[in-house]
Structure 1
Amino acid sequence: MLPPNLSIPDLRKSASNIFQAGVAAADPYQAVKGCLLAENDKLQILRDDTGDKRTGSWTKIHLIAFGKAACPMIRAAIDIIPAHYLSGQAIAVTNYDNVKPVRGVNVIGAGHPLPDEAGFNAAKLCAKIAQDAKAGELVLVLVLVSGGGSALIPYPVDPVSLQEKIRTTDLLLASGATINQVNCIRKHLSQLKGGGLARMVAPADCHALILSDVIGDDLSAIASGPTVPDETTFDDAIGLLKFKNIWHKVPESVRHYLECGQQGEARETAKPDDACFAQTSHTLIGSNTISVKAIMKTAQEQGFDAFLYNANLCGEARDEAEKLVQFALTHINTAGNRPIALLAGGETTVTLKGNGRGGRNQEMAFAFAIRAEQAKLPGNWVFLSGGTDGRDGPTDAAGGMVDSGTIQRMQAAGINPAELLANNDSYRALKASHDLLMTGATGTNVADLQVLLIQP
């Protein structure tokens, strides 16, 4: 039971526990294990929560995993699939922080959020396994797909170089583009994304077990949809780059290739009527929605009156922080003395205007602390915004956990909060106030979770 009047340390401990419950709900090993069944020396794959299964007389099974959860996902598959079915060419590509040895698997560390040469070389190995598969075999990719896959297996189209694709991705991230917008461009500059991997696997069978880091679980957006159809076009990609005012900033080779595609001189991404999808299917094994349900349940079990603020949180991080403060002010007036939890899941964005360091979760937490101080949010409160993968932007923090004393601690450390926020320097500010959320790499990724706890 909660004490009658929660102190800030009490609230911080509860917020951390609630967040960790959301991360645990996206455990990739258990998620894969729960949808594979080896019975009578045959593999069965659960398609969905109705109990429908996919079976086949597969003579050989190839394993390809990529994403931040690649290692535990492929380990679960190996623990279940009879060894004599495995091709011996299993590969797992993950970000450097999540690299762990897995028996019988070629585990490769690669760059994220920006791709690197290691990922490029790993993508070539994935493509080779896919292309070597024969009719009557299964590629189980048993594709194992999880968040971060887009950056981890870059395989740019000719004549775009890896560095030119990195430059384009960098410009998109800095423009405040959403994950769907970034992936539209990635698909049209990649040989694997936008259904490209499914094309390579054919005529072999393909099944993808997908851990979603995309709000709404659009399968074509998760890791840029390597095994599902893509509805976007070259026209969309060009229009987006122009809308974001970066068309003339991207490399000339990128503009040339997209224009060739627009004129029908380059192959479009795989559309729903592509023959490769006749042998391709998938199972969604984890998502932000599942994790949001878990934090709601945990908050209630800890004695909070829990309310779902937003299951699809998006938009500019600092703007969403402002909205949450206003909502909390209104909600407190009707809460009485009961401790309340306002919970959310999603993925905000940051449009860079300064040269500071941070990520969307750090910026949202920092902006919330500033606005809550200005609005005089009453009572003891703690706000946590964190990435379920344990990494927020190009930093070692998962996000931020601020409280009603955060701004005072920053000022005591000689920090001007408004100036640092204007410079997108949330990491420095939160480090000064001891409010960085540090979890280390979690081995999973289902976007972000937000936890606001208030003792009126």
Structure 2
Amino acid sequence: MSAVQPSSREHAAAIFRAGVAAADPYLAVKHFLRADSELLHIGSEQTGYRSDGWRRIHLLAFGKAACAMADAAQAIIPEAWLAGKGIVVTNYDNIDVVENCQVFGAGHPLPDAAGFHAAKTIANRLSGTNPDELVLVLISGGGSALLPYPAAGINLADKIATTQLLLASGAIINQINCVRKHLSQLKGGGLARLAAPADLHALILSDVLDNDLSAIASGPTVPDDTSFADAIAVLESFGIWRQIPSSVQSHLQQGAQGLQTETPKSGDAIFQRTGHTLIGSNASSVDAAIDKAQNLGYQTQVYSKQLCGEARLVAEQLALHALTVTAGMTQPTALIAGGETTVTLKGNGKGGRNQEMALAFALAAERCGLNGAWTFLSGGTDGRDGPTDAAGGVVNNHTLQRIRDAALDPDAMLDDNNAYPALKAANDLILCGATGTNVADLQILLLHPNA
């Protein structure tokens, strides 16, 4: 094995950690929230401030970074200003004790009964809000699954079944959320509707590529300009309309006919008292990864800040691009990307989009003749990739040989969506545990000139 491999792998891991650290939710809230003796100030010099003397503040936090965000907020807001204990909802891996808060664990990526209970707890709190109070909402990635509150006539099992079909269909997150919003009482502006007539402000850690606030956690505090008809179109376009439960079909059809209340749209009066501040994003993590790569001596290129598409196809495109970069390359080079790919499940294996992309890249690099020493890492900033304990994979030009030495066929395993055991055999899984944040995925490709 080339002597460059160990340091290259360590460099990829260090660059990934720098990207994750840039999305630290505790520090992000600290930067955008401040209290003095009279007023609570929300925002920054760059975003502008919203300040008022609220003396009943309802603190709600949900998402994979909810505990850290709520911990920061309760440390800033005087306890006497809080309208009871805060409500915090996160996935089971990220549960932590938060002072002055009730913490709920809930299912992700599939919703569960615990999340339903937490959602009802939030709805009950909001039912008693009044003017001159503030609902301070701390939102991070994962909130869509963590707060299931099905519309009347849909039970949780039917909503879970619909979510499973969407996740396996290859639909992108905006399409999945379009459907979820129209099956929920909280998503798509539903939380803002429940919070009225109180003031509302959301501090948002983005896990979507374009920082579309209506897509993060399915936009519970912002207008939703999609429709019931759009939701039906998504399900039909992926061929799963006939597979979804009849209660879901009936609800969406009634909505399209005007027999169910639409999600609140732009211009609705409930949004006159709401505000939002974006406090972190995938783009910030990509920038931090670039800085770290440069500090480690790499020439850097931003491959994409909005990487999306089918994971294995994106991997092939990256491998072909790398081939052009290596032609005449004289210095170590890092290609950095951020985003969120998708996987259309056709097999019965175990893995996630980052593991699939890592294995697909190794195979594509072999096919296109990407010679020399290279290392490719694809990982989820939340530390979890699909229904596994891995954040993703980190592969190099010896990965496929290690898999084959274990008597496994990497091509067949990719076809079966079975990247996890393939990468495990090569000792190429990223096992870092839950990070407590979530700003989508990072991809790091390190290329070294031929000796």
Tell me if structure 2 keeps the 8 A contact 1:41–1:82.
no
CA displacement 1:132-180 (0-9 Å, x = unmatched): 211110010xx10000000000000010000000000000011000000
Q: Which moved more, 1:346-355 or 1:48-57?
A: 48-57
Q: Could you say if the C-alpha distance between residues 297 and 49 of structure 1 is closer, same or farther in structure 2, counting changes exceeding 3 Å?
A: farther
Hey, what does 2:80 align to over in structure 1? 84
Hey, what does 2:370 align to over in structure 1? 377
Aligned equivalents of 1:371 and 1:53: distance in 2? 49
The TM-score normalised by the length of structure 2 is 0.98
**C-alpha displacement of 1:57:** 2.6
Letter of the 1:146 partner, please give it: S
Hey, what does 2:323 align to over in structure 1? 329
Letter of the 1:299 partner, please give it: A
- Choose the corresponding residue for 1:340, options 311, 314, 333: 333
| DSSP-derived class of the 2:447 partner | strand
Moved over 3 A (4+): none
| DSSP-derived class of the 1:20 partner | helix
The TM-score normalised by the length of structure 1 is 0.97
Letter of the 1:25 partner, please give it: A
Letter of the 2:403 partner, please give it: M
Hey, what does 2:107 align to over in structure 1? 111
Aligned equivalents of 1:244 and 1:43: distance in 2? 46
Hey, what does 1:282 align to over in structure 2? 276
- Choose the corresponding residue for 1:133, options 129, 147, 153: 129
Tell me if structure 2 keeps the 8 A contact 1:6–1:380.
no
Letter of the 2:102 partner, please give it: N
Aligned equivalents of 2:314 and 2:328: distance in 1? 22
CA displacement 1:54-95 (0-9 Å, x = unmatched): 012312101000000000000000010111101123110000
Tell me if structure 1 keeps the 8 A contact 2:70–2:88.
yes
| DSSP-derived class of the 1:132 partner | coil
Q: Could you say if the C-alpha distance between residues 251 and 49 of structure 1 is closer, same or farther in structure 2, counting changes exceeding 3 Å?
A: farther
Unaligned runs of 5+ in 1: none
Aligned equivalents of 2:125 and 2:278: distance in 1? 23
Hey, what does 2:154 align to over in structure 1? 160
Within the alignment, does 1:389 sit opposite 2:385 as a pair? no
Aligned equivalents of 2:171 and 2:296: distance in 1? 37
Q: How does 1:369-448 map to 2 (within 5 A)?
A: 369-448=362-441
**C-alpha displacement of 1:131:** 1.8
Tell me if structure 1 keeps the 8 A contact 2:47–2:277.
no
Letter of the 1:411 partner, please give it: R
Letter of the 2:236 partner, please give it: K
Letter of the 2:8 partner, please give it: L
Calculate percent identity across the aligned residue pairs: 59
Hey, what does 2:188 align to over in structure 1? 194
CA displacement 1:283-312 (0-9 Å, x = unmatched): 000000110110011101110001001111
**C-alpha displacement of 1:40:** 2.7
Alignment: residue pair count: 448
**C-alpha displacement of 1:454:** 1.1
CA displacement 1:91-150 (0-9 Å, x = unmatched): 10000000001111111100000000000000001111222211110010xx10000000
**C-alpha displacement of 1:334:** 3.4
- Choose the corresponding residue for 1:355, options 328, 348, 359: 348
Give me the CA root mean square deviation: 1.0
Aligned equivalents of 1:402 and 1:213: distance in 2? 24
Hey, what does 1:26 align to over in structure 2? 23
**C-alpha displacement of 1:49:** 5.2
Hey, what does 1:216 align to over in structure 2? 210
